[in-house]
Chains A and B, each alone.
Chain A
């Protein structure tokens, strides 16, 4: 992927690094990482879903006032049941991150391929939309691993005594990565996949015309403050939404689906504060120019446009330092009502999490339950990990989907699975 801008950035990074190397001589070098091994078995047939080794090395060079971080991911899956189109099913090598950190004025500049996370909600995304996601295993797995790092300029700067600003310039059009059809977590829910006229052959086009990196770059501005105990953020993001809009084009002979990306203004904010044992977290976002599927037979492209207001309110309750109970309610409201819309105008999701640490944090257990209140489908994730030594951690887990196949979660009802694995740090 020799996109010119990426190349430019890479050259810039390297020359900066080289220059600094020349000036500041020997950097402090830190190499570390993890090696994870996971075996996942699907419960309905007892067949392994993946047998995966992941090596995540991370290299960091630090000079006074400057550091360069690089991390990569090498993934080998003997089972090869998960993946994307055009992907080698067994092996996947990826430069995850490569960025330069340096103080700039009173602020901080991070330049390069990186992840930026906005918002206060856990698992439910309202403001956390800066980086696209990898849906290879749907929403299972850590966000850390599922976010796709982007090339960007990320500048944080003080605005006043209390306020800090963050400016993002993202000339990297990478969208969400969807699983190849036929792989274990390829989407089937009508809420995500457009209904196609059964009478016509369907032609799936690869992509809408490529975007210009400079003209079509994303811009973000965030202001954060700590006021009277409240963590407050105000966010604005002018971006191409990372979910493709399946624009349908029907002629008399063929139905064409073109994944299309559209720009949107996102305006939002978040707050958090702690009251005794309770922590309140909330975030909201108002985005225009969002597109949703419609089954309206007279709709010419199968999608409709609406602004969307999303809100999450979460409450964490700490029982001692070791036990955390956390509940969240997510609401999404569409400004437009549309006949034939596959989703409701107002949708709710709720999540409940119970997390406990045992034996001086040696043993960790967690249960997360997410339910769509509109469709009744749900996901229960159970997870436990045990630290055998400082460097070796054993993990066991289960992901259980229930509900209607039509639901976003229920579509994977027959994909319930059990995970066993270990993680080795070096």
Chain B
């Protein structure tokens, strides 16, 4: 082994091997520290967690939830398959028993438990209308039970929603108070079901409320089952590779470090453990061990060859040879996962990508720091298959690799052709590829919850809800028969759509009341004809029953109503058409000036977060491929080599698409992230192969066959174990009970296997056929090759920072925007409840003379009122000057302003400046300062000019004109044009014209980045074209988190600034 000139890493490894105990203890301490954070790890299994909390659909749904008190309920079904169904005293008593038992659970909203035992019948009497509970009196006899059957038969509203149309099932629907406690509540309900006097009735528990609870437990049991299996499998593979125990143990320390530290950091940074995070430990186990395999493999090679050499020297030599490939594969794997982070819109995916990348990094660092120290301490001897004996008696793995090598060397053309065919099949199958997701299909069909869901969907109208919120312009507008008929028509239309099995609304109640008051005749099950009658019906109802009975269907003012559709499928493919059809109907048939409808509810939410899944998947693949190409092209100093590197993974992914279509697996939550993972992992094989072959090619006098002959038994064998570790790690996922994870495991194993095979067959074949320039141009010695690494690191840093900047914000311009919606989005950009920041103002006159003012600014919202304080800190002659403003939301109310002048030591009340006046000598007006980048629709009319790209940033180009000449005069602007960044809705550029139409000013914003999650413009430049004066604002030390006290915005504080 030659000593080389690369001193820097050697120095590091020398340091490590001289102080092994210190390094080992420090490593263990680092793991220990991360473990102390672990108890803070929070689980979030809600489906809502997949949507950004700011997503308009989610925000709207939550509002609706609050208004109508609707939540995703827990549904308990009592099923009786006998002749008379559930209408017998025993079953009904069970319903009563269950209702009572569930009602008292702490996390159940007892006011909103609905079942036959709580609901009321509406019948006509001589005096008018009677509203009575179905169970009043309680049905002790079969005759009474039959009477209830008849009552339900006369009350279409409950058919299908509360009681099965065939009478064989009925529901108890309970709302959770706190979805986060879903797991406990589910357990409690299951315990009640266990105790229930069921007799010949079946009891099922389902619904989103139950899924939440069940999934949490499911994940726990799945994780605690999978992780040990994975660890055992990996340990076995290491044992198999090296026939030694210490590598297996130490490999597990690296695994522990990667997994525990990643989860610890997740906990410390407040990121929750989502459903898909379950895959993270297993993936890290597979990846973490790969580095250890390569390092041990090389170490044992050396140890076998030079058994007498000093252990420390041997370890340093091992690390010297291995630090580069370990670093490179760590980087490329990270790139693969970061691709997921950059491309995904859904927070769980983004965090999954980010934290897996972090785990890969930790594994890489531990492999490079902890392993050498541990190697010095354990001093393992090489097993028989390493070293001198190897050439004479190759073991099975080596023989397998040699065979693989011969295959492609003898038939390069056939190998290439085969891969072309596979790629073609993948491309063709892409057209049949579909996105689908169904929460319930996350569970194995054997699971109770899956069966419960099927049973309920079979008997009743379904467990999936699509809500339609009907809004009118004034209170009591819903008494209007025309409006009610519209709602009735909407429901009738919904019923024509597939999977829509039933619906409920206030219309159904009115029809029932009309029928009750008209002698109970079924032909009278129609809407009352005039407004007064409707009002009277509600009055009558409230006289004989609790008026809050309708609170789920209509609001207190009879202005807003809710129509709830029951669907018996929750899958995206099935429900997408319904959401689109309903939206179309609402837009074209329903909405008018006086009544409008909007979609909400679980089904609508699912549509919104899944519709972009396919798009973000393919973007993710593209970004990952691009990143990997960049890194490998930089490594090899050749764009072509980058393409060679990509071929095996690209082929593998196409193969997976073909396999998914063939196996009927659709792209869902679990499966959509396979590609980024497969790329990150699969590319390692290609990089190792190309890198090693280049060196060997040069070492063997440019004879590719001889280079290949050396490659397969050495590097090839190490790659095989690398592959086995990863494949087995992911293979464990196949046994997951969480169905998408199982699919995910299968797919990744297929992908990694194919990229492994392609790297070791297709790449050598291609090299043999084309003898590309990057192969022949390789230098013989690896020294001086630090440069590509530097290039790669630079790219990595660049990509990471660029990606961070370009990251799709919470609101992306997925749909075409209107001027109004853009204004709304700009104005809803979060700018923090309060902020503290340094502001340096550079004031430059037309001759270039510059003056600087340094200030500290504070701002805080009090509802819509805004208070801000600007304290001058530099230079000393203006130091302590302070400007306090209280901005009121009412246009007609002048702002209150105070100025503290240190020369007077007095707080001076100053008149609210004209909004168009220039602010304290700058080129920004008081109004510009007040708006802080927001827009003012009460002053301007806005129009969308088009889309534009400014400095590579996609923007909406907007125009605005003041609503009146008076406003134009007051604000000093005749019109403006501005450009809104479509990704974060910040204004990045603006031009202003004076009221006479002359160009007045131009503004540019730059250095835009997130601070504590809030997009912040750090530099603003305003040029005044008339005076030639220019103002540049530089914001720094922006802090949205440290609370700003109310006392700051008082005159007392103003006077105290000195």
Q: Which residue of B lies closest to A154 (CB)?
A: B1056
Query: What's the interface size class on A, roughly?
Result: 35 or more
For the complex, is B504 an interface residue (Cβ under 8 Å from A)? no
Whether A224 and B852, one on each chain, are in contact in the complex, defined by CB atoms closer than 8 angstroms, is no
Whether B914 and A320, one on each chain, are in contact in the complex, defined by CB atoms closer than 8 angstroms, is yes
Whether A32 and B876, one on each chain, are in contact in the complex, defined by CB atoms closer than 8 angstroms, is yes
Whether B921 and A274, one on each chain, are in contact in the complex, defined by CB atoms closer than 8 angstroms, is no
Q: How far is the CA of A297 from the CA of B904 in the complex (A)?
A: 42
Whether B913 and A318, one on each chain, are in contact in the complex, defined by CB atoms closer than 8 angstroms, is yes
With A226-B1051, A274-B894, A360-B1031 known, 9 other A-B pairs at CB within 8 A are A69-B1058, A156-B1052, A156-B1056, A274-B912, A277-B911, A362-B921, A389-B851, A390-B850, A391-B877
Q: How far is the CB of B885 from chain A (nearest CB, A)?
A: 12
Q: How far is the CA of A143 from the CA of B926 in the complex (A)?
A: 29
B903, B912, B923: the one contacting A360 at CB < 8 Å is: B923
For the complex, is A416 an interface residue (Cβ under 8 Å from B)? no
A–B complex contacts, Cβ < 8 Å, 13 sampled? A32-B876, A58-B876, A117-B1055, A143-B905, A274-B911, A275-B911, A276-B912, A316-B910, A320-B913, A320-B914, A360-B1027, A360-B1029, A390-B850
For the complex, is A144 an interface residue (Cβ under 8 Å from B)? yes
B911, B922, B1053: the one contacting A278 at CB < 8 Å is: B911
Q: Which residue of B lies closest to A106 (CB)?
A: B1047
Residues of B close to A69: CB separation below 8 A:
1058
Q: How far is the CA of A389 from the CA of B894 in the complex (A)?
A: 35
Q: How far is the CA of A240 from the CA of B429 in the complex (A)?
A: 97
Residues of A close to B1051: CB separation below 8 A:
224, 226, 231
Scoring A residues 293 to 333 as 1 if CB is less than 8 Å from chain B, else 0, what string do you get? 00000000000000000000000101011100000000000
Whether A362 and B910, one on each chain, are in contact in the complex, defined by CB atoms closer than 8 angstroms, is no
Task: Give 10 nearest A-B pairs by CB, closest first.
Answer: A361-B921, A321-B917, A425-B876, A425-B875, A272-B909, A274-B911, A117-B905, A390-B852, A360-B921, A32-B876
Scoring B residues 919 to 956 as 1 if CB is less than 8 Å from chain A, else 0, what string do you get? 11111001000000000000000000000000000000
For the complex, is B977 an interface residue (Cβ under 8 Å from A)? no
Residues of B close to A274: CB separation below 8 A:
894, 896-897, 909-912
Q: How far is the CB of B414 from chain A (nearest CB, A)?
A: 73
Interface centre among B845, B875, B913 (most CB of A within 10 A): B875
Residues of A close to B1058: CB separation below 8 A:
69
B853, B911, B1053: the one contacting A279 at CB < 8 Å is: B911
Scoring A residues 408 to 426 as 1 if CB is less than 8 Å from chain B, else 0, what string do you get? 0000000000000001011
Residues of B close to A231: CB separation below 8 A:
898, 909, 1051
Main secondary structure of the interface of B (DSSP, over half): loop
Q: How far is the CB of A415 from chain B (nearest CB, A)?
A: 23
For the complex, is B156 an interface residue (Cβ under 8 Å from A)? no
Q: Which residue of A lies closest to B901 (CB)?
A: A144
Q: How far is the CA of A120 from the CA of B898 in the complex (A)?
A: 12
For the complex, is B918 an interface residue (Cβ under 8 Å from A)? yes
Residues of B close to A38: CB separation below 8 A:
none
Q: Which residue of A lies closest to B910 (CB)?
A: A279
For the complex, is B906 an interface residue (Cβ under 8 Å from A)? yes
Whether B911 and A321, one on each chain, are in contact in the complex, defined by CB atoms closer than 8 angstroms, is no
Interface centre among B879, B913, B922, B1058 (most CB of A within 10 A): B1058
Q: How far is the CA of A144 from the CA of B906 in the complex (A)?
A: 10
Whether A393 and B877, one on each chain, are in contact in the complex, defined by CB atoms closer than 8 angstroms, is yes
For the complex, is A340 an interface residue (Cβ under 8 Å from B)? no
Q: Which residue of B lies closest to A166 (CB)?
A: B1052
A362 and B845 in contact, given A117-B905, A321-B926, A390-B852 (Cβ under 8 angstroms):
yes
Give chain B's interface residues, CB within 8 Å of chain A.
843, 845, 849-853, 874-877, 879, 894, 896-898, 902-906, 909-914, 917-923, 926, 1027, 1029, 1031, 1047, 1050-1053, 1055-1056, 1058
Q: How far is the CA of A98 from the CA of B898 in the complex (A)?
A: 26
Q: How far is the CB of B228 from chain A (nearest CB, A)?
A: 48
Q: How far is the CB of B973 from chain A (nearest CB, A)?
A: 16
Whether A362 and B851, one on each chain, are in contact in the complex, defined by CB atoms closer than 8 angstroms, is yes
A115, A316, A361: the one contacting B905 at CB < 8 Å is: A115
Q: Which of A380-426 contact B (CB under 8 A)?
A: 387, 389-391, 393, 423, 425-426
A32, A110, A164, A277: the one contacting B879 at CB < 8 Å is: A32
Whether A101 and B851, one on each chain, are in contact in the complex, defined by CB atoms closer than 8 angstroms, is no
Q: How far is the CA of A122 from the CA of B901 in the complex (A)?
A: 12
Q: How far is the CA of A33 from the CA of B902 in the complex (A)?
A: 13
Residues of A close to B918: CB separation below 8 A:
321-322, 360
Q: Which residue of A lies closest to B911 (CB)?
A: A274
Residues of B close to A229: CB separation below 8 A:
896
For the complex, is A1 an interface residue (Cβ under 8 Å from B)? no
Q: How far is the CB of A98 from chain B (nearest CB, A)?
A: 13
Whether A360 and B845, one on each chain, are in contact in the complex, defined by CB atoms closer than 8 angstroms, is yes
Q: How far is the CA of A229 from the CA of B914 in the complex (A)?
A: 18
Residues of A close to B903: CB separation below 8 A:
142-144
For the complex, is A34 an interface residue (Cβ under 8 Å from B)? yes
For the complex, is A136 an interface residue (Cβ under 8 Å from B)? no
B850, B917, B920, B1027: the one contacting A361 at CB < 8 Å is: B920
Q: How far is the CA of A390 from the CA of B855 in the complex (A)?
A: 14
Residues of A close to B853: CB separation below 8 A:
390
A387 and B851 in contact, given A32-B879, A321-B914 (Cβ under 8 angstroms):
yes
Residues of A close to B877: CB separation below 8 A:
34, 391, 393, 423, 425
Whether B906 and A117, one on each chain, are in contact in the complex, defined by CB atoms closer than 8 angstroms, is yes
Q: How far is the CA of A357 from the CA of B920 in the complex (A)?
A: 10
Q: Which residue of A lies closest to B846 (CB)?
A: A359
Residues of B close to A156: CB separation below 8 A:
1052, 1056
Q: How far is the CA of A388 from the CA of B919 in the complex (A)?
A: 20
B845, B876, B917, B1027: the one contacting A426 at CB < 8 Å is: B876
A122, A166, A391: the one contacting B875 at CB < 8 Å is: A391
Whether A318 and B910, one on each chain, are in contact in the complex, defined by CB atoms closer than 8 angstroms, is yes
Residues of A close to B1055: CB separation below 8 A:
117
Whether B896 and A390, one on each chain, are in contact in the complex, defined by CB atoms closer than 8 angstroms, is no
For the complex, is A281 an interface residue (Cβ under 8 Å from B)? yes
Q: Which residue of B lies closest to A364 (CB)?
A: B921
Q: How far is the CA of A58 from the CA of B875 in the complex (A)?
A: 12
Q: How far is the CA of A119 from the CA of B910 in the complex (A)?
A: 15
Q: Which residue of B lies closest to A58 (CB)?
A: B876
Residues of A close to B896: CB separation below 8 A:
226, 229, 274
Residues of B close to A143: CB separation below 8 A:
903-905
Whether A281 and B876, one on each chain, are in contact in the complex, defined by CB atoms closer than 8 angstroms, is no
Q: How far is the CB of A396 from chain B (nearest CB, A)?
A: 16
Q: How far is the CB of B394 from chain A (nearest CB, A)?
A: 66
For the complex, is A147 an interface residue (Cβ under 8 Å from B)? yes
Q: How far is the CB of B454 from chain A (nearest CB, A)?
A: 60
Q: How far is the CA of A185 from the CA of B904 in the complex (A)?
A: 22
Residues of B close to A33: CB separation below 8 A:
876
Interface centre among B853, B903, B1027 (most CB of A within 10 A): B903
Interface centre among B874, B909, B1051 (most CB of A within 10 A): B909
Scoring A residues 155 to 167 as 1 if CB is less than 8 Å from chain B, else 0, what string do you get? 0100000001010
Scoring A residues 345 to 373 as 1 if CB is less than 8 Å from chain B, else 0, what string do you get? 00000000000010111100000000000
Q: How far is the CA of A278 from the CA of B1053 in the complex (A)?
A: 24
Q: How far is the CA of A229 from the CA of B909 in the complex (A)?
A: 10
Scoring A residues 50 to 88 as 1 if CB is less than 8 Å from chain B, else 0, what string do you get? 000000001000000000010000000000000000000
Interface centre among A34, A357, A361 (most CB of B within 10 A): A361
Q: Which residue of A lies closest to B1029 (CB)?
A: A360
Q: How far is the CA of A122 from the CA of B1051 in the complex (A)?
A: 17
Interface centre among A119, A144, A359, A360 (most CB of B within 10 A): A360
Q: How far is the CA of A117 from the CA of B897 in the complex (A)?
A: 19
Whether B909 and A122, one on each chain, are in contact in the complex, defined by CB atoms closer than 8 angstroms, is no
For the complex, is A260 an interface residue (Cβ under 8 Å from B)? no
Residues of A close to B1050: CB separation below 8 A:
164
Q: How far is the CA of A296 from the CA of B874 in the complex (A)?
A: 56
B845, B875, B904, B906: the one contacting A359 at CB < 8 Å is: B845
Q: How far is the CA of A391 from the CA of B852 in the complex (A)?
A: 9
Whether B1052 and A108, one on each chain, are in contact in the complex, defined by CB atoms closer than 8 angstroms, is yes
For the complex, is A273 an interface residue (Cβ under 8 Å from B)? yes
Q: How far is the CA of A265 from the CA of B166 in the complex (A)?
A: 93
Whether A357 and B904, one on each chain, are in contact in the complex, defined by CB atoms closer than 8 angstroms, is no
